[in-house]
Amino acid sequence: MALEPGEMAVTIEYAKDLKDKDIFGKQDPYCTIRVGSQQYRTRTATDGGKRPVWNETFRFNIINENDAEITIKDEDVGHDDFLGTARISFARAREQGRDTSQAPVYTKHGKQHGFLQVSLSFTRNSSLKVQAHGPYPGYPPQQYAQYTYPQQIPGYGVPPPAYGVPYGAPPPVYGAPPPNYGAPPPAYGAPPPAYGAPPPAYGAAPPVYGAPPPAYGAPAYPPPGGAGYPTVPQPGYPPQPGYPPPGQYGTPPPAYGAPYPGYPHK
């Protein structure tokens, strides 16, 4: 026969022949009662000694719990002394509605030292079944209830985007070099390029500081019209017609096969 859920009222009346931990004066006992995850504490019976009286009632909602564990301690400054434990069964109270029992009190070494009188009163409450067998609020997460494994949850295991990359942008191709890979760094002190302007081609000469930027799409090297480069040919390389001026570096030698001037002909 299944046990019905309900409310159990536990009244801790008194204890008798407890172990005395105080050498001088009388000890001050109190009880802690625990049923499942629910726990309460009685008041301290000041100078209760070995026969403390409490007469306090505590109410517990029970479903599958069948007993209560009661611990008795002596309240002291700094550290409370352990006097013993007692266990109360709910079986008769759940069947008959009421029960009064004297439970033996056992010390740490398992030796009986006195007893504890407890009265029980049980009231049935079938509405507690819904709370016992219903889902706990917030668990499991409802938005993931349709997935069997965490790997099926959208986005599970996907690494976050790199810092500065807009969220949702496609990831870069694995092994591909980053943008502008191998491009030379800008000259020290040069102004930064305009926002959105294409980067300079690799190997192109840096622009002259303060000069207006070239038109978008114009070749960066060499500049149009040879601006910035000398128009006077360099001496000796390559030979230019009419340069150097006549007589500046002496008379040029005659052409190949022509008679040498001043040489006597036979």
Instruction: Report the residue count for the chain.
Output: 266
* Per-residue model confidence (pLDDT) at position 165: 59
> Strand, helix or coil at 56?
strand
Confidence of residue 13 (pLDDT cuts 50, 70, 90): very high
Q: Output the pLDDT for position 87.
A: 96
Q: What is the pLDDT of residues 167-199, one digit of tens each?
A: 566 666 666 666 666 666 767 777 776 666 666
Q: For 113-136, how does the pLDDT look when each residue is reduced to its tens digit (9 = 90+)?
A: 999 999 999 999 888 864 444 444
pLDDT for position 194:
67
Sorted by where each starts, the structural domains of the chain and their CATH numbers stand as: 6-129 (2.60.40.150)
- Residue 95 in 3-state DSSP? helix
The answer to whether the Cα torsion of 146, 152, 157, 158 is positive or negative is negative
Of 103, 45, 54, which Cα lies nearest the Cα of 74? 45
As a whole number of angstroms, the distance between CA 117 and CA 113 comes to: 14
CA torsion sign for 145, 146, 151, 154 is negative
Any idea which of 33-42, 46-55, 60-69, 250-259 has the lowest mean pLDDT?
250-259
pTM, 2 dp: 0.49
